[in-house]
Structures are given as structure tokens and as C-alpha cells.
Amino acid sequence: MLKFLSQRASLKTVVTRLFILALSALLYACGSPESDPPASGAEIVVSIGPVALIAREIAGDEVPVRQLVRGGDPHHYAPRIADRMAMENAQLVIWMGPAMESVLARQMSLLPADRQLGLLEAGGYEFDGAEEDDPHLWLRPRNAAVMAAHIATRLSELNPGHADAYRTRARDFSRAMANLQKVQDRALWAYRDVPIVSTHKAYGQFFGPAGVKVESLGGSASHQHGARAMLEKSETLSAEKHVDNMGREVVRGCLFGEVPANDRDRQTAAHLNLGYQALDPLGTALPAGADYRQLMEQLLADARLCLARVPDRGR
């Protein structure tokens, strides 16, 4: 009798478990999600921080974004084994292009064309006030909006069920960038006649839309300050020191480098009678969870640390 009751209890347990499994499967099948989930291997891999910020604006919570270059020079970045595996398994790999990530180009050549997006090659950008071969497109909010549109288009092709969401976010981002561009241009417009120098070709996209011309000490990101370039700048910019009526030293303009600040750039600025400020165009010091707007606001705030030392020419 006890054996029979034990067998009956076991049978009841099995039937209960089968019922729960069947009910779970039925509930899953009858669910009505708003859209299909992203494709398998849905992670997006991006090269640099600013592109990651823009990609997250468009991808939302549907697709995770993995950033490759963290704290290093993107021109010389070579992916590690884990990075290469992530790129091979990613739904989409987004980078600027060989002009920005020259070493990464070798690995990108191994990926199928339909699984990568080179933003420089995608086109449609503004270059007024910047050199045509300047790859730092994200430093102009209107160009960031173009980048976002390219990303939304590719993600819509890969995940049609989320296409409307991607396009809506790209449209909202574009509107926000138009307003941000106006704010940035108004803040920089007053310095259009102030000598602005960069340690290499980087900030034309940031200052150019406001009519501020940026002179470059070098044509590459290696910060090699040639003697000839320094002499040419010395002839253009007086080395004479200036003080205000309080006896404080003022500067005629600004030299902008990249973080971290270094003595070589400080000495170059002093030689040219310029103020010096290191900027962070890659957003390496931004707090976790920061967005693209915060990147641009921080750049503007840091630039003003030097620009504020330039005397008002109207006085």
C-alpha cells in the first residue's frame, strides 16, 4: 500500500511538472511583443568613445554597445584577442575609417562589408571651417547627427522589427544636435579673430562652424612639432608678454592639445605667447553613463578655461 502511494505521488509530481512546462511554452508562444528581438549576435562593436556615445543614442536598450579603444590612441590601436573575437561575433562593427584607426584597418579588412560601417566613407558631412581630410567629425554636432542617421539606417536593415525606434531616435537626436550646434557656435563666435592653434589637426570641426580659424602645428596626431612650423608661428604671433591693468599676464590666443597635458605643449604655448589647455575630444574622462551632449559641453567648458584669458578686444 505504501509503495502504491509513493508511486502515485511520483506520478502526480511528474504530471505537475509537465503541466507547468506546457503552460510556460504556451504563454511564450501567445505573447505579443511589440517587435522581433534583434538578430543573434546582436552586440554592436564600436572603435572609439564618441562613436559609442552616438551609437547608444540610437541603439537604445535593444542592442548592447561595446567600445574597443579606451584611453589609447585610436591611430595606433591594435585589437587584442578578446576584441577580435568580439568583432567577429558582432552584428555590426562601427569605426571611423583608416584615416582615424589606421592599425585597426587590417582587422576590419577581414570582416564582411555588410557587417561593418565606416562612418568617414559614408559621407554627407560638413567641412566648413575645417580641412577636408580632418577625420574628427564627431566634434561638430551636426556631423554627429549625420553619423547617427548612418547608424540608424544600418541597424534598421539588420533589425527590421526595431527600425521605427531607430529612425525616431535618430530624428530626435538630429533636432537636439541642431540646437546644440547653435549654442556652441554662439559661445565661440566672439573668438573668431583670436589666434587659435592646435598641436595637430584636430579641432577645425569644433571651432570651424563659429568662424574661428584653427592653425595646426602638425599634420598628424603624433604631436611632432617641427622646428619650421614653430618658427612660422613665431613670426605670426608676437612673443611679447602682455599684462592687464591689474598686472596679470594675459594671452593673445590659445594653444589646444589633447589630454593628458604635458610640458612640451606648455613650452610651445609659452614660446608663441599663447595660453595652453589640453582638451579631451575622445571623452576619456567622462563619467560612466555620460552621453554625447555631455562630451561637447565638457569640451566647450575646457576650451573656455583658456579663452577666458584672452582680453576683450572691444576695450
Question: pLDDT tens-digit profile of 191-218?
Answer: 999 999 999 888 999 999 999 999 988 7
Angle at CA 131, nearest 5°, toward 111 and 213? 140
- C-alpha grid cell, residue 236: 605670426
Pairing label, strands 44-46, 65-67:
parallel
| Strand arrangement, sheet containing 65-67 | 65-67, 44-46, 92-95, 116-118
Domains and CATH numbers, the chain: 44-185 (3.40.50.1980), 190-307 (3.40.50.1980)
d(CA 163, CA 154): 9
Q: How far is CA 53 from CA 16, 104, 148, 229, in A?
A: 49, 20, 10, 35
What pLDDT does residue 222 have?
Answer: 42
Tell me, what DSSP letter sits at residue 80?
-
Hey, is 116 helix, strand or coil?
A: strand
Which stretch of 12-26, 104-118, 299-313 has the lowest confidence by average pLDDT? 12-26
- C-alpha grid cell, residue 238: 608676437
> 113 pLDDT band (50/70/90 cuts)?
very high
Torsion angle of the four alpha carbons 94, 100, 104, 105, in this order, in degrees rounded to the nearest 10: 90
Provide the 10 A C-beta neighbour count for residue 36: 10
pTM of the model: 0.81
Angle at CA 159, nearest 5°, toward 157 and 161? 115
**pLDDT tens digit sequence for 62-72:** 899 999 999 88
